[in-house]
Amino acid sequence: MTDVILRISGMDCGACAVRIVCALRGLPGVHAVFVSDTAGCA
């Protein structure tokens, strides 16, 4: 399994984080998603 860290600019609230989690979970091959709106990464 490979870990990937994505830097996401403009993500500054919990609602943004939820939208990103939903989008990433819908991708094939994604098994787990962790998002930090304070760090701006997923």
Q: In the prediction, which pLDDT does 11 show?
A: 84
Give the structural domain span for 33.
1-42
User: Degrees (nearest 5) of the Cα angle 38, 26, 37?
Assistant: 5
Q: In the prediction, which pLDDT does 37 show?
A: 83
User: Degrees (nearest 5) of the Cα angle 19, 20, 23?
Assistant: 90
Predicted confidence (pLDDT) per residue in 1-42, tens digit:
889 999 988 888 888 899 999 999 999 999 999 998 888 888
Q: In the prediction, which pLDDT does 26 show?
A: 95
* Total domains present in the chain: 1
Q: In the prediction, which pLDDT does 1 show?
A: 80
Gap between the Cα atoms of 11 and 33, Å rounded = 15
Gap between the Cα atoms of 11 and 9, Å rounded = 6
